[in-house]
């Protein structure tokens, strides 16, 4: 009897001993809608409460997936509740024992279009609905924005036919409506007028305070429109590229600083100015005269206030032939940068020009490194030359003396001109005034070899190669 009882107990215990613990389970939720998911709840059918939001403080963007751990559960039946960014809900029943992946997609046919914003304002809302229906539906952009001049690929769901009505809402609240657009034949939806000229100009903050808002409007307009900075700030010494569309060049600009103070500039010609400066308006516009002494035609010239990295628009307004002069205007101070482009496409530039001290700039070989001319009506200082050591050894001594004169002081002093290096060399002040530009050069290399260059023009602005 005892043996029979023992055998029975062993038989009952055998399944329990062979039973393995339930492995951890998880579910993957894939968002194939065009909207972000803001909340996801996963719970057992019949539960009084849906439980915690599985996203927490996060969102699930379109075309993204989320893995939700469920722990060691033997249950198979679950319900899912997903809340989209516009408050719409999607519900699903699932059997996680058969599939662990949940695909959330919007029903109906899907069409893909390109939304192009050809205006100068951000596109904030877009409504697309079937032609002839009264309900325009939700904003198809959702949390997205199409910035001015940019485009966005958008998938449209729930449109059975090709014909649709459209409503676009811009940052200033203005709207653009279209009726009967054939999405099958025209998958590109352009808003704004792309034929209007684009006016682009850099805006520089020279104040000691940040600019929190920036507005632009045609002269005399009652409303300033939207803040062109959006969520950005224009910090001190920083610049912002303002982009406007319109037939006219004249605009009023208004800046609002972090302390609430405002600065308004009216009647600015954005087709002419190369930059707009706030915080430095006590300074009048400055004029710079360019004299082209190159042998090539200068096709473009860009003159911008110091501190701006963007060269902006061409200020020359036509080619500058060799020997000609042209006046340029700079708004906002004396210090500037200049970039010139030749007819060959080659370019030269220089920063840190003081056009108040030197309103005449002679453009010739070496102008980017020479001292600028003093003032209009005065002879420009001697441009000098540029010495380049193309020899394998450094130059340890350099002499520049009048023709036929005995050797004078070493012009390098304690420095040397290394192999492959170059340096600017101006006519020495101790040379006779009448013949200062013409001298005999003597370069001495480290091995004692001497290179003589008699009658060198020290004012030519050319490069002299030492070999």
Give pLDDT tens digits for 420-445: 777 778 888 788 877 778 889 999 98
Helix, strand, coil % over all residues of the chain, rounded to 5: 5, 45, 50
CATH 3.90.550.10 fits 385-466, yes or no: no
CATH class of residue range 286-363 = mainly beta
Predicted confidence (pLDDT) at residue 53 exceeds the cutoff of 60: yes
- Give the rounded distance of the alpha carbon of 6 from its chain centre: 83
* DSSP H or E run through 15: helix 2-18
The answer, as to whether pTM is greater than 0.85, is no
pLDDT at position 379: 41
Predicted confidence (pLDDT) at residue 52 exceeds the cutoff of 70: yes
Q: Determine contact, residues 45/93, Cβ cutoff 8 Å.
A: yes
pLDDT-wise least confident of 20-29, 220-229, 356-365 = 20-29
Report the share of the chain in percent with pLDDT over 70: 89
Helix then strand count (H, E) for the chain reads: 1, 30
Q: Which of the following CATH numbers is that of domain 25-104: 3.30.230.70, 3.30.230.10, 3.30.1280.10, 2.60.40.2890?
A: 2.60.40.2890
Domain extents in the chain: 25-104, 110-191, 198-278, 286-363, 385-466
Backbone angles phi, psi at 148, to 5 degrees: -60, 130
Buried b (16+ CB within 10 A) or exposed e, 374-413: eeeeeebbbbbbbbbbebeebbbbbbbbeeeeeeeeebbe
> For 102-107, what is the mean pLDDT?
81
Q: Which residues contact 230 (CB under 8 A, 6 or more apart)?
A: 122, 171
Report the C-alpha gap between 158 and 138 in whole angstroms. 11
Q: Determine contact, residues 344/279, Cβ cutoff 8 Å.
A: no
Q: Which residues contact 407 (CB under 8 A, 6 or more apart)?
A: 399, 401, 442
pLDDT at position 373: 47
Mean pLDDT over each residue of the chain, to the nearest integer: 82
Backbone angles phi, psi at 7, to 5 degrees: -65, -35
pLDDT at position 307: 64
Backbone angles phi, psi at 94, to 5 degrees: -145, 155
Predicted confidence (pLDDT) at residue 42 exceeds the cutoff of 60: yes
Backbone angles phi, psi at 138, to 5 degrees: -85, 165
Report the C-alpha gap between 268 and 278 in whole angstroms. 13
CATH 2.60.40.2890 fits 110-191, yes or no: yes
The CATH T-level fold of domain 198-278 is Immunoglobulin-like (2.60.40)
Report the share of the chain in percent with pLDDT over 90: 12
Q: Determine contact, residues 276/298, Cβ cutoff 8 Å.
A: no
Q: Determine contact, residues 243/198, Cβ cutoff 8 Å.
A: yes
pLDDT at position 300: 94
pLDDT at position 311: 81
pLDDT category, 13, cuts 50, 70, 90?
A: low
Do the domains at 25-104 and 198-278 have one common CATH topology?
Answer: yes
pLDDT at position 378: 40
Return the closest-CA partner of residue 88 out of 106, 66, 67: 106
Predicted confidence (pLDDT) at residue 298 exceeds the cutoff of 90: yes
pLDDT at position 11: 55
* Cα angle 186-188-191, degrees, rounded to a multiple of 5: 115
What is the three-class DSSP state of 325? strand
Predicted confidence (pLDDT) at residue 380 exceeds the cutoff of 50: no
Number of residues that make up the chain: 467
> For 266-288, what is the mean pLDDT?
76
Q: Determine contact, residues 359/289, Cβ cutoff 8 Å.
A: yes
pLDDT-wise least confident of 75-84, 204-213, 243-252, 328-337 = 328-337
């Amino acid at each position: 009897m005892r043996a029979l009882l023992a055998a029975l107990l062993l038989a009952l215990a055998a399944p329990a001993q062979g039973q393995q613990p339930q492995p951890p389970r998880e579910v993957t939720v894939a968002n194939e809608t065009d909207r972000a998911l803001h909340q996801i709840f996963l719970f057992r059918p019949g539960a009084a409460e849906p439980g915690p939001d599985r996203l927490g403080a996060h969102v699930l963007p379109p075309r993204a997936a989320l893995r939700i751990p469920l722990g060691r559960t033997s249950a198979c039946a679950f319900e899912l509740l997903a809340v989209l960014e516009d408050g719409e809900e999607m519900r699903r029943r699932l059997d996680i024992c058969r599939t662990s992946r949940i695909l959330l997609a919007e029903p109906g046919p899907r069409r893909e279009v390109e939304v192009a914003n050809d205006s100068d304002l951000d596109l904030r809302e877009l409504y697309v609905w079937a032609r002839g229906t009264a309900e325009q539906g939700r904003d198809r952009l959702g949390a997205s924005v199409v910035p001015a001049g940019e485009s966005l690929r958008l998938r449209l769901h729930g449109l059975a036919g090709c014909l649709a009505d459209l409503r676009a809402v811009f940052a200033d609240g203005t709207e653009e409506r279209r009726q009967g657009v054939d999405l099958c034949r025209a998958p590109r939806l352009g808003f704004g007028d792309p034929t209007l000229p684009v006016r682009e100009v850099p805006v520089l903050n020279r104040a000691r305070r940040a600019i929190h808002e920036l507005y632009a409007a045609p002269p005399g307009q009652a409303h300033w429109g939207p803040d062109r900075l959006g969520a950005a700030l224009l910090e001190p010494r920083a610049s912002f590229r303002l982009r406007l569309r319109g037939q006219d060049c004249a605009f009023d600009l208004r800046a609002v600083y972090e302390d609430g103070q405002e600065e308004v500039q009216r009647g600015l010609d954005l087709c002419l100015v190369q930059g707009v400066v706030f915080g430095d308006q006590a300074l009048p516009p400055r004029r710079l005269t360019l004299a082209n002494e190159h042998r090539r035609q200068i096709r473009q010239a860009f003159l911008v206030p110091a501190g701006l990295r963007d060269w902006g628009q061409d200020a020359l307004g036509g080619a500058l032939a060799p020997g000609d002069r042209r006046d340029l205007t700079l708004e906002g101070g004396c210090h500037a940068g200049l970039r010139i482009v030749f007819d060959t496409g080659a370019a030269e530039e220089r920063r840190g020009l003081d056009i108040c001290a030197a309103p005449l700039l002679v453009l010739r070989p070496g102008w980017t490194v020479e001292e600028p001319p003093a003032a209009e009506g005065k002879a420009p200082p001697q441009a000098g030359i540029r010495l380049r050591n193309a020899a394998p050894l450094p130059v340890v001594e350099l002499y520049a003396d009048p023709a036929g004169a005995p050797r004078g002081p070493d012009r390098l002093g304690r420095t040397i001109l290394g192999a492959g290096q170059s340096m600017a060399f101006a006519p020495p002040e101790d040379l006779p005034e009448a013949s200062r530009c013409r001298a005999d050069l003597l370069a001495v290399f480290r091995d004692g070899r001497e290179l003589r260059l008699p009658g060198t023009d020290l004012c030519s602005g050319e490069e002299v190669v030492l070999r």
